[in-house]
Amino acid sequence: MCQWVVFGFGSYLSDIFDNIHSNKGKIKMIVRNIEPTRKQQEDLARRIRLLGYEVPIMNLEAFRPKKSERYCCGFVTGRDKVVRGLKESYGIQFSSLIHRTAYLAANASHGEGVSIGAHSVIGPNCRIGDFSVINRASSVGHDTVLGEFSTVSPGVAIAGKVRIGQNSFIGIGAAIVDGVSIGENSIVGAGSVVLDNVGDGVVVVGSPARVLRRNEPALAP
């Protein structure tokens, strides 16, 4: 049984737990990089209680990697900085975590530390960049490229030949038509329909999607 070390404890944590258990793995520990609030502590305790077994929580300062472990992130926002810091400090390699019900076409490819949720579909010739997240029941069409650290929320429909830049976020239930490019560090709002290219560093919403504002950098949870 694979033993997983999960870094962080954001809202994505339960999905990570599900991906791990679907592959008959077990959570060995959670490593926290910040001091949680009382509300976060209570939420984390609840999520662990529902697992049915004990999971220790360790401060990052006490973490020491072991060869038998696999590593993944339990949060989405700001994971690029955390992951790069961990790799630089500890020289660890992150494993990709793909739910057993997800479908990847035979010639689709993905990088390091990718997470793909239950019932998602990755079409032919897709390239999924390092540390990208594709959440539950999303569809990624043929010849689409996701940049590193990009995030696709549940229920997203991405057509063919789409380009999504690094660190971009696609909100729940959004739809992106064929051949569209989404720039780096941009956000597509929940339920939006993207018919035209989206530039770097903007937030777009609506149907059809229009620029709402610039995207300000977010802090890690």
Whether 142 is a known active-site residue: answer yes
The confidence score (pLDDT) of residue 42 equals 94
**What is the number of structural domains in the chain?**
2
pLDDT mean over 34-43: 90
Q: Does the residue 179 lie in any domain? A: yes
Query: At 1, is the pLDDT very low, low, confident or very high (cuts 50, 70, 90)?
Result: confident
Domain containing residue 108: CATH number: 2.160.10.10
Same domain, 106 and 85: no
Choose the final residue of a domain: 90, 109, 125. Answer: 90
Query: At 33, is the pLDDT very low, low, confident or very high (cuts 50, 70, 90)?
Result: confident
pLDDT in tens, 42-96: 999 999 999 999 999 999 999 999 989 999 999 998 899 999 999 999 999 999 9
Same domain, 107 and 162: yes
Q: Does the residue 33 lie in any domain? A: yes
Same domain, 131 and 180: yes
Q: Which of 21, 99, 119, 142 is catalytic?
A: 142
Write out the residue range of the structural domain in which residue 139 sits: 98-214
- Looking at the chain, the whole-number percentage of residues with pLDDT higher than 90 is 92
Query: At 11, is the pLDDT very low, low, confident or very high (cuts 50, 70, 90)?
Result: confident
Choose the final residue of a domain: 55, 90, 125. Answer: 90
Choose the final residue of a domain: 90, 107, 134. Answer: 90
The confidence score (pLDDT) of residue 188 equals 98
Same domain, 195 and 172: yes
* Three-state secondary structure of the chain: CCEEEEECCCCCHHHHHHHHHHCCCEEEEEEECCCCCHHHHHHHHHHHHHHCCCCCEEEHHHCCCCCCEEEEECCCCCHHHHHHHHHHHHCCCCCCEECCCCEECCCCEECCCCEECCCCEECCCCEECCCCEECCCCEECCCCEECCCCEECCCCEECCCCEECCCCEECCCCEECCCCEECCCCEECCCCEECCCECCCEEEECCCCEEEEECCCCCCC
Query: At 117, is the pLDDT very low, low, confident or very high (cuts 50, 70, 90)?
Result: very high
